[in-house]
Structure 1
Amino acid sequence: MLSTRVATLSQRLWSLWLLDKQLDRVIKSTCLQVSKRYATRAATAKQEIDISQYPPERIRNFSIIAHIDHGKSTLADRLLEQTGVISKTSKNKQVLDKLKVERERGITVKAQSASMFYEYKGMKYLMNLIDTPGHVDFNYEVSRSLAACQGTILLVDAAQGIQAQTVANFYLAFGEGLQVIPMLNKVDLPTAEPERAAQQIESTFEIDSSKILHISAKSGIGVDQVLPAVIENILPPEGSIDQPFKALLFDTWYDKYVGVVCLMAIKEGIIRRGDRIVSSHSKTKYEVTEVGIMYPDPKPTTSLQVGQVGYIICNMKSVSEAHVGDTFYKEKHPVDPLPGFVPAKSMVFAGVFPLDADEFSKLDESIQKLTLNDSSVSVHKETSAALGQGWRLGFLGTLHMDVFRQRLEEEYNANILITAPTVPYKIKYRDGTVKFIKTPADFPDGTTMQEYVESTMEPFVLATMIFPEEYLGQMLELCTTHRGEIQNHTFIDESRVMLTCRLPMSDIVTDFFDKLKSKSQGFASFDYEDAGYDDSQLVKMEVLLNGEPVDALAAVMHKSNVVTVGRDIAKRLKEVIRRQLFDIIIQTAANGKIVARETVKQLRKNVTAKCYGGDITRKMKLLNKQKEGKKRMKKFGKVELPQEAFLGILSSKKD
Structure 2
Amino acid sequence: MPATPSNVPAPSRTGPALIRNFCIIAHIDHGKSTLADRMLQLTGIVEDRLMRAQYLDRMDIERERGITIKSQAVRMPWAPSGAKDSPYILNMIDTPGHVDFTYEVSRSLAACEGCILLVDAAQGIEAQTLANLYLAMEHDLTIIPVLNKIDLPAAQPEKFAAELAHLIGCEVEDVLKVSAKTGEGVEELLDEVVKQVPQPVGVADAPARAMIFDSVYDAYRGVVTYIKVVDGQLGRRERIRMMSTGATHELLEIGTNSPEMTSADGLGVGEVGYLITGVKDVRQSKVGDTVTSFTKGAEEALPGYKDPKPMVFSGLYPLDGSDYPELRDALDKLQLNDAALTYEPENSVALGFGFRVGFLGLLHLEVIRARLEREFGLDLIATAPNVVYRVEMEDGTEHVVTNPSEFPSGKIDSVHEPVVRGTLIAPSEFVGAIMELCQSRRGALQGMDYLSEDRVELRYTLPLAEIVFDFFDALKSRTRGYASLDYEPTGEQSADLVKVDILLQGDQVDAFSAIVHKDKAYSYGSRMANKLRELIPRQQFEVPIQAAIGARIIARETVRAIRKDVLAKCYGGDISRKRKLLEKQKEGKKRMKVVGRVEVPQEAFIAALSTDGSGTGAGGGGGSAKAKN
1:348 aligns with one of 302, 312, 318: 312
- Could you tell me whether the CA contact under 8 Å between 2:382 and 2:609 is conserved in 1? no
Aligned to 2:525: 566
1:313 aligns with one of 264, 276, 279: 276
How many angstroms apart in 2 are the aligned matches of 1:157 and 1:89?
28
Aligned to 2:387: 423
Instruction: Output aligned runs, 1:377-456, within 5 Å.
Output: 377-430=341-394, 434-445=398-409, 447-449=410-412, 454-456=413-415
How many angstroms apart in 1 are the aligned matches of 2:535 and 2:162?
53
Task: Encode CA deviations 1:352-409: one digit per residue, 9 max, x unaligned.
Answer: 1111111111111111111112111111111212211111111100111011111111
Aligned to 2:618: none
- The amino acid of 1:147's aligned partner reads A
How many angstroms apart in 2 are the aligned matches of 1:496 and 1:223?
28
- The amino acid of 1:227's aligned partner reads L
Are the structure 2 counterparts of residues 81 and 544 from structure 1 closer, same or farther at C-alpha, using a change threshold of 3 Å?
same
Are the structure 2 counterparts of residues 603 and 249 from structure 1 closer, same or farther at C-alpha, using a change threshold of 3 Å?
same
- The amino acid of 1:428's aligned partner reads E
| Greater percentage in helix | 1
How many angstroms apart in 1 are the aligned matches of 2:225 and 2:62?
22
Aligned to 1:73: 33
Instruction: Output aligned runs, 1:435-584, within 5 Å.
Output: 435-445=399-409, 447-449=410-412, 454-584=413-543
2:214 aligns with one of 251, 254, 279: 251
How many angstroms apart in 2 are the aligned matches of 1:529 and 1:361?
35
Aligned to 1:7: none
Instruction: Measure how far apart 1:138 and its partner are.
Output: 0.6
Instruction: Measure how far apart 1:332 and its partner are.
Output: 2.4
Are the structure 2 counterparts of residues 49 and 569 from structure 1 closer, same or farther at C-alpha, using a change threshold of 3 Å?
same
Instruction: Measure how far apart 1:51 and its partner are.
Output: 2.7
Aligned to 2:592: 633
Aligned to 2:162: 199
- The amino acid of 1:422's aligned partner reads N
Instruction: Measure how far apart 1:647 and its partner are.
Output: 4.4
How many angstroms apart in 2 are the aligned matches of 1:432 and 1:585?
37
Identity of aligned residues (%): 45
Instruction: Measure how far apart 1:63 and its partner are.
Output: 0.6
- The amino acid of 1:124's aligned partner reads P
How many angstroms apart in 1 are the aligned matches of 2:258 and 2:540?
63
Are the structure 2 counterparts of residues 332 and 91 from structure 1 closer, same or farther at C-alpha, using a change threshold of 3 Å?
closer
- Could you tell me whether the CA contact under 8 Å between 1:468 and 1:495 is conserved in 2? yes
Q: Secondary structure at the match of 1:492?
A: strand
- Residues 1:229 and 2:200 are matched in the alignment: no
> TM-score, with normalisation over the residues of structure 2?
0.93
Are the structure 2 counterparts of residues 615 and 479 from structure 1 closer, same or farther at C-alpha, using a change threshold of 3 Å?
same
How many angstroms apart in 1 are the aligned matches of 2:604 and 2:350?
15
1:59 aligns with one of 19, 24, 37: 19
- Could you tell me whether the CA contact under 8 Å between 1:272 and 1:304 is conserved in 2? yes
Aligned to 1:3: none
- Could you tell me whether the CA contact under 8 Å between 1:71 and 1:185 is conserved in 2? yes
Aligned to 1:300: 263
How many angstroms apart in 2 are the aligned matches of 1:633 and 1:55?
83
How many angstroms apart in 1 are the aligned matches of 2:296 and 2:58?
37
- The amino acid of 2:402's aligned partner reads K
How many angstroms apart in 2 are the aligned matches of 1:518 and 1:562?
25
How many pairs were matched up?
608
Q: Which stretch has the larger CA shift, 465-474 or 565-574?
A: 565-574
Aligned to 1:21: none
Instruction: Output aligned runs, 1:163-242, within 5 Å.
Output: 163-242=126-205
- Residues 1:149 and 2:112 are matched in the alignment: yes
> TM-score, with normalisation over the residues of structure 1?
0.89
- Could you tell me whether the CA contact under 8 Å between 1:48 and 1:301 is conserved in 2? no
Q: Which stretch has the larger CA shift, 210-219 or 584-593?
A: 584-593
Are the structure 2 counterparts of residues 84 and 607 from structure 1 closer, same or farther at C-alpha, using a change threshold of 3 Å?
farther
2:338 aligns with one of 357, 368, 374: 374
- The amino acid of 2:529's aligned partner reads A
How many angstroms apart in 2 are the aligned matches of 1:61 and 1:496?
34
- Could you tell me whether the CA contact under 8 Å between 2:8 and 2:44 is conserved in 1? no
- Could you tell me whether the CA contact under 8 Å between 2:393 and 2:411 is conserved in 1? no
- Could you tell me whether the CA contact under 8 Å between 2:423 and 2:458 is conserved in 1? yes
Are the structure 2 counterparts of residues 644 and 333 from structure 1 closer, same or farther at C-alpha, using a change threshold of 3 Å?
farther
Instruction: Measure how far apart 1:441 and its partner are.
Output: 1.6
How many angstroms apart in 1 are the aligned matches of 2:354 and 2:507?
21
Aligned to 2:242: 279
Task: Encode CA deviations 1:151-193: one digit per residue, 9 max, x unaligned.
Answer: 1111100001000000000000111101111100000101111
- The amino acid of 2:556's aligned partner reads R
Q: Which stretch has the larger CA shift, 333-342 or 49-58?
A: 49-58
Q: Which stretch has the larger CA shift, 344-353 or 615-624?
A: 615-624
Instruction: Measure how far apart 1:550 and its partner are.
Output: 0.9
Q: Secondary structure at the match of 2:548?
A: strand
Task: Encode CA deviations 1:315-354: one digit per residue, 9 max, x unaligned.
Answer: 2211122211011111122321111000011110101111
Instruction: Measure how far apart 1:618 and its partner are.
Output: 5.4
- The amino acid of 1:412's aligned partner reads F
Instruction: Measure how far apart 1:204 and its partner are.
Output: 2.6
- The amino acid of 1:292's aligned partner reads G
- The amino acid of 1:317's aligned partner reads K
Q: Which stretch has the larger CA shift, 342-351 or 593-602?
A: 593-602
How many angstroms apart in 1 are the aligned matches of 2:591 and 2:163?
72
How many angstroms apart in 1 are the aligned matches of 2:86 and 2:569?
97
- Could you tell me whether the CA contact under 8 Å between 2:136 and 2:143 is conserved in 1? yes
Instruction: Measure how far apart 1:653 and its partner are.
Output: 3.3
- Could you tell me whether the CA contact under 8 Å between 1:417 and 1:643 is conserved in 2? no
Q: Secondary structure at the match of 2:187?
A: helix
Are the structure 2 counterparts of residues 232 and 473 from structure 1 closer, same or farther at C-alpha, using a change threshold of 3 Å?
same
Instruction: Measure how far apart 1:626 and its partner are.
Output: 3.6
Instruction: Measure how far apart 1:552 and its partner are.
Output: 1.4
Task: Encode CA deviations 1:528-571: one digit per residue, 9 max, x unaligned.
Answer: 01110111122111111111111111111222221222222222
Q: Secondary structure at the match of 1:353?
A: strand
Task: Encode CA deviations 1:233-272: one digit per residue, 9 max, x unaligned.
Answer: 1011111321111111111111111211111111111112
- The amino acid of 2:327's aligned partner reads L
Q: Secondary structure at the match of 1:123?
A: coil
- Could you tell me whether the CA contact under 8 Å between 1:159 and 1:194 is conserved in 2? yes
Q: Which runs of 5+ in 2 are unaligned?
A: 616-629
Task: Encode CA deviations 1:444-492: one digit per residue, 9 max, x unaligned.
Answer: 11x242xxxx322111000000111111110000010000001111111
How many angstroms apart in 1 are the aligned matches of 2:139 and 2:233?
25
Q: Secondary structure at the match of 2:116?
A: strand
Q: Secondary structure at the match of 2:103?
A: helix
